[in-house]
Structure 1
Amino acid sequence: MIVDVDTGIDDSLALLYLLASPEAQILGIAATAGNVPAAQVAANNLAWLDVCRAPEIEVALGAAEPLAIPLRTTEDTHGPQGLGYAELPVARRACSNRTAAQMWVALAREHPGEIVGLCTGPLTNLALALRIEPELPRLLRRLVIMGGAFNHPGNTTPTNEWNVHVDPESAKEVFDAFSAAPPDRRPVVCALDITETIEMYPKHLALLAERALSHPAETVSEDDVPGTRSAASNPVVRHVSDAVRFYFEFHRAYDQGYLAHMHDPFAAAVALDPTLARTRPATVDVELTGALTRATTVADWVGMWGREPNADIVVGTDPELFFDRLIARVGDFAKDLYPPSGEPRMTHAQPASHRPTKDPR
C-alpha cells in the first residue's frame, strides 16, 4: 500500500488500523497538507510510527500548498498539531529524501499492478504524481479515496466536503485521469454519504481499552471537563483517547452530538477488504467555477454525460462490523505493543525497502 494522509485525528486511526492489520504492507506514507500543514503531518506520521514501534516505512513530505489556491487548514477540528489533545513524543525517525509525488511514482513503477493507494486527505500529491507518470491509473491495482459528497450535504460548504474543498483542482485532475483506468481498477470513493454513518462514541473507546487490557477502565463522557486527559496505562489507548476526545468535543460544538465521524479509518478498512462496502459505478467530476458550488463533487449515475464511469462510489456498509474490526485489531495491536507485563512485542507492519534520510522539521 501507499497511504496518502493529512494526519489528522481520524487519519491517525486509519494508520493504526493499517499497522494493526497483518495483511497490510505499507511501502510508503505521503504527508499531504490539509488538516494541518504538510510538515506537521509528516511529523505526526513519524511520531505514530515510533509509538507503534513500526519497522522502517518511508514517510515522504508532500506539497506545501494546493495546486491553485492558498492552503486552508482546520486546527479547530483536529487541534493545533492535528492530534487533538494527544501529545506524542517527538519522533526519532526522519523523512524521506524524495517528495511524496516522486514516491508515488517510484513505488508504482517498482510494483506494477500490485499497489493499493489510499488517500484520506486532499489529492494534491497524487495529482502531482500523475503529472509525472500519467500511467498511474494502470500501474496501481486500486485506489481508495475518502472525499466528496454526492446525495448528501457538505461539511465545509452546503455542497462540498473538506478534502475536495482544500484542493478541488487536484481532485478534478485525479478523477479525469482515472477515466482511463480499467473497470476493475476504478477508484473506490468513500464520500460523506457513507462516512458520516461511521459514528464513534465513548463506548467504543472503552471497548478498545478493555481489549488492550489497559487500566484503569477508560471512561470518556460528555459530562467531563473539556480537555480532560486519559490516564490509560497503554500509550496507544491513551493517545487515541486524547485525540478522539477533542473530536467528540468538536462535533458536540456543532450540534452533531458527543460522537466522532471516523471517515478515514473506514476508507482504510475498505482498502484492505472491499467487501465491507457496497458500491455503485458513476462518472464523477468536480465543479471548479460555480460561485456557490465550487469544489462540489458531481456524480452522473445514469450516463447523461455520455462518459464511462470513472469511480465506484460506496453506497452502503455495516458500521457495527467496521467498529468490531477496528476495536479488535487496534486493541490487540496495542496490547501486543505494550502488554500489561513482560517485554513488548514487534508490530505486524511490514518493512519497506526505502529508508528515509531527511528530517521534515
Structure 2
Amino acid sequence: MNHKQTVPLIADVDTGIDDSLALLYLMASPEAELLAITCTAGNVPARQVAINNLAWLELCGHADVEVALGAEVPIIQPLMTTEETHGPQGIGHAVLPAPSRSVSPRHAAEVWIDLVRERPGEITGLVTGPLTNLALAVKLEPELPKLLKRLVIMGGAFNYAGNTTPTTEWNIAVDPDSAKIVFDAFSVVPTDRRPIVCALDVTERIEMFPAHLAELARAAGSEPVEQLSADDVPGTRSTASNPVIRHLSDAVRFYFEFHNTHDQGYLAHMHDPFAAAVALDPTIATTRAATVDVELAGTLTRGQTVADWRGMWGRAANADIVVDTDPAEFFRRTIERVGSLARAAGGASDAQIAQTATPR
C-alpha cells in the first residue's frame, strides 16, 4: 500500500471495547500520525479510560503518544456509564498490564486547542465517545472548527432505531448538549470539510464474528488457533501466544457475550474502528450531506440526532452522514493492519504473559 502522506490525528475516546480496536487500528496504520489521545467519560469513567489508553499504547509499542484526561462529567446532565456493555474496566474480560506512564499535565480541551493552533488546516479530529471535550474546546477557541482539517464523529442514529433509548445513540445520549454545541459550531466550515458522521445506520453493519478474530490471530502468527464460540463458558480467557491478540480476544469475547444476551447474535458491532478507518480514508464510506441538529427538550427524545435531508429548515448542510460502506473491505484492512501490529508487538511479551496469566 502506497501511503503518500500522513494523516495527523487527535483521537478523543471513551475506551471501551470497540474504542480499543479503533486505537489498535490507528497504531497499526502507517499513514496515521497519532498526535494525542484525549479521554472523556462515557463507556466508563474518564480516569479508567485514560488507564486503558495508556495500557494499550504501551502494549503495542506506542508509549510516546500523549494521553490527556478531559471531561469527567457531561456539561449539564449526570454521567451515564455502561459497564454492562464493556466490562467493569471498559475492556471486557481483558486485564492489561498496568501502564508505567501517567496522563499528560494538559487538559484534553487544551490539547485540542494547542494542536490545531500549531498545525492549522492539517489535523483530523476523531471522536468515538461523547463530544464533551470537543464542545469545551470549541467554547474556549471558537475558531477551532476552521483550524481543524476534518472531524469524524461516531455517533447518532438517523433513519434507524437508537441503542440507548428508542431514538438515541449512546455517545450522543451521554451528553446531548455537547453534541449540539459541536454540530452548531461546525456549521461554519467549508463544504469539503464538513464533519463526517458515522451513525448506527451503518456502524451496526460492521459486524465482527469469531471468524474475524481467528483470521486476525493467524495474521499475527498467534497460537493456538483463536476459536471463540457461543457455547464457551462465559468469561473463558484466551491462551493466545501473542499478547495483543490475547488481550483483544478477552475484550471482544465480553462484547460477543453482551450482544448474544441481547438477542443480536454472537457478534460485536465495531462502531469505533469503522470511524477510525473513515478518519484515515474517507473513500471507504459513501456519504450524503444533511443538516444535523440535536433534540434537547423532548421528554421522550432528548439526545435524538435529527437530519434534515431535504433542506426543510432552510439551513445549509453541516454534516456528511455515512450512508453506505463495504464491511468486508473494512475487516480486510483491520485484519491486515492489526495483525501486523500484533506480530511486531508480540516479540517482548514474556513479562506481559506472566503478569496476566492468572485468571480473574
Indicate whether the TM-score tops 0.5.
Answer: yes
Q: Are the aligned partners of 1:280 and 1:313 in contact in 2 as well (CA < 8 Å)?
A: yes
Q: How does 1:232-311 map to 2 (within 5 A)?
A: 232-311=240-319
Of residues 160, 163, 167 in structure 2, which corresponds to 1:155?
Answer: 163
Q: Are the aligned partners of 2:242 and 2:349 in contact in 1 as well (CA < 8 Å)?
A: no
Asked if 1:183 corresponds to 2:188, the answer is: no
Whole-Å separation in 1 of the counterparts to 2:63 and 2:18: 22
Amino acid in the other structure paired with 2:314: G
Aligned residue in 1 for 2:118: 110
Q: RMSD value over aligned CA atoms?
A: 1.2
Deviation >2 Å, runs of 4+: 339-342
The number of residues matched between the two structures is 342
CA deviation map 1:313-353 (0-9, x unaligned): 000000000000000000011111214999xxxxxxxxxxx
Of residues 70, 74, 80 in structure 1, which corresponds to 2:78?
Answer: 70
Aligned partner of residue 299 in structure 1, secondary structure: strand
TM-score by length of 2: 0.94
Aligned residue in 1 for 2:231: 223
Aligned partner of residue 142 in structure 2, secondary structure: coil
Q: How does 1:14-93 map to 2 (within 5 A)?
A: 14-93=22-101
- Which structure ranks higher in relative contact order (CA pairs < 8 Å, sequence separation ≥ 6)? 1
Aligned partner of residue 27 in structure 1, secondary structure: strand
Aligned partner of residue 112 in structure 2, secondary structure: helix
Aligned residue in 1 for 2:358: none
Amino acid in the other structure paired with 1:62: G
Whole-Å separation in 1 of the counterparts to 2:78 and 2:196: 28
Of residues 181, 195, 207 in structure 1, which corresponds to 2:203?
Answer: 195
Compute the displacement of 1:208 (Å).
Answer: 0.4
Aligned partner of residue 227 in structure 1, secondary structure: coil
Asked if 1:122 corresponds to 2:130, the answer is: yes
In structure 1, list runs of 5 or more residues that go unmatched: 343-361
In structure 2, list runs of 5 or more residues that go unmatched: 1-8, 351-360
User: Residue 290 and residue 341 in structure 1: after superposition, are their counterparts in 2 closer, same or farther (change >3 A)?
Assistant: closer
Q: Are the aligned partners of 2:243 and 2:349 in contact in 1 as well (CA < 8 Å)?
A: no
Aligned residue in 2 for 1:354: none
Q: Are the aligned partners of 1:137 and 1:185 in contact in 2 as well (CA < 8 Å)?
A: no
Whole-Å separation in 1 of the counterparts to 2:176 and 2:72: 15
Amino acid in the other structure paired with 2:273: P
Q: Are the aligned partners of 1:214 and 1:340 in contact in 2 as well (CA < 8 Å)?
A: no
CA deviation map 1:229-266 (0-9, x unaligned): 00000000001100000000000111000000000000
CA deviation map 1:89-130 (0-9, x unaligned): 110011111100010000010010000000000000000000
Compute the displacement of 1:35 (Å).
Answer: 0.2
Amino acid in the other structure paired with 1:287: E
Aligned partner of residue 73 in structure 2, secondary structure: coil
Whole-Å separation in 2 of the counterparts to 1:284 and 1:54: 36
Whole-Å separation in 2 of the counterparts to 1:337 and 1:170: 37
Amino acid in the other structure paired with 1:119: V
CA deviation map 1:51-88 (0-9, x unaligned): 01114111100111001011000000000000000000
Aligned partner of residue 89 in structure 2, secondary structure: coil
Whole-Å separation in 1 of the counterparts to 2:82 and 2:346: 32
TM-score by length of 1: 0.94
